């Protein structure tokens, strides 16, 4: 079984995907980390994120990079959304994601283009959303817990800028797949979001089994 989970920043897709991975005992890949690794490489190598050639040069990283705590920084998220708009960066990371999705026994991946590009034939697809204000609130709380000092307004502005960039790019924009189920977590607890996600996955599997 392949499960695709997409959605904008702080919608809850990672929390939901991790819980689904546990529930269905599937290996899980947070594809945002791949783009964040490229972004961190660009920053550390002093390259230009707006340059496609520079960003492609930063796509060569080893697995140790994927566990670097700096990947979680908000400025790396913003940088990731710049480098991820380059078609050649997306192409460089594509096989790795497709291989993960196609492994025996299935997999669950979360990101922006899993249901549309990486695993268009996924058995279940979720598109997770929440209002920009609520997402900013969540990100702000996370930042504060880590000792960050950015204001809520700053976080909201960053989220809006990232949404616009991710949805507006021409290659693999953030868009809900036609056959995805929508899950709005704005007014749902984590537990309720996960419960709803399992119900939506089960409904999609039942529908597929019936045809
Ligand atoms: O966790 P959060 O939603 O804040 O970000 P992320 O999933 O780690 O993704 C960081 C950035 O990488 C996003 O803003 C996207 O621009 C990019 N990304 C993408 O283009 N395609 C994906 N499948 C995953 C992430
Ligand atoms: O992966 P993504 O950036 O979409 O979001 P996340 O990291 O799963 O969730 C962002 C924050 O929202 C985390 O601190 C979650 O615990 C929280 N969250 C929440 O408060 N309520 C939900 N229904 C889902 C997530």
- Tell me how many domains the chain contains: 1
Model pTM score: 0.97
User: 169-206 pLDDT, tens per residue?
Assistant: 999 999 999 999 999 999 999 999 999 999 999 999 99
177 carries a ligand binding annotation: no
In tens, the pLDDT along 38-77 reads 999 999 999 999 999 999 999 999 889 999 999 998 889 9
Q: Is residue 209 part of a domain?
A: no
Q: Is 9 annotated as a binding residue?
A: yes
Which protein residue has the closest C-alpha to ligand 1 atom 21?
112
Q: Which tokens is 119 given?
A: 């695993």
Residue 161 forms part of a structural domain: yes
The ipTM of this complex is 0.98
**DSSP symbol at 180:** P
Domain that holds residue 199: 2-204
Q: Does 13 fall in a domain?
A: yes
- Which backbone phi and psi does 178 adopt, to 5 degrees? -60, -30
Ligand 2 pocket check for 190: Cβ under 6 Å: yes
Measured by CA distance, the residue closest to atom 18 of ligand 1 is: 32
32 annotated ligand binder: no
- In a domain, residue 19? The reply is yes
For residue 67, tell me if it sits in a domain: yes
Specify whether the CB–CB gap between 118 and 125 falls below 8 A: no
Show the tokens assigned to 101.
């999705």
> 32 alpha carbon to ligand 1 midpoint, in Å?
4
Sign of the C-alpha dihedral computed for residues 50, 88, 83 and 45 taken in this order: negative
- Residue 50 sits in a domain whose CATH number is 3.40.50.300
């Amino acid at each position: 079984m392949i499960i695709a989970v997409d959605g904008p920043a702080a919608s809850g897709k990672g929390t939901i995907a991790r819980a689904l991975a546990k529930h269905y005992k599937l290996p899980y890949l947070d594809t945002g980390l791949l783009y964040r690794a490229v972004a961190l490489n660009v920053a550390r190598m002093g390259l230009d994120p707006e340059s496609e050639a520079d960003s492609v040069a930063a796509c060569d990283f080893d697995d140790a990079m994927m566990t670097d705590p700096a990947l979680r920084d908000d400025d790396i998220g913003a940088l990731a959304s710049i480098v991820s708009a380059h078609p050649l960066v997306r192409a460089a990371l594509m096989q790795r994601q497709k291989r993960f999705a196609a492994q025996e026994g299935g997999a669950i991946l979360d990101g922006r283009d899993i249901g549309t590009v990486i695993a268009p034939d996924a058995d279940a697809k979720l598109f997770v959303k929440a209002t920009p204000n609520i997402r900013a609130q969540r990100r702000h709380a996370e930042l504060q817990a880590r000792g960050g000092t950015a204001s809520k307004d700053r976080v909201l502005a960053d989220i809006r800028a990232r949404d616009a960039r991710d949805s507006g790019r021409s290659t693999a924009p953030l868009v809900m797949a036609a056959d995805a189920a929508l899950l709005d977590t704005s007014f749902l607890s984590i537990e309720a979001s996960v419960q709803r996600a399992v119900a939506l996955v089960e409904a999609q599997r039942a529908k597929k089994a019936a045809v």
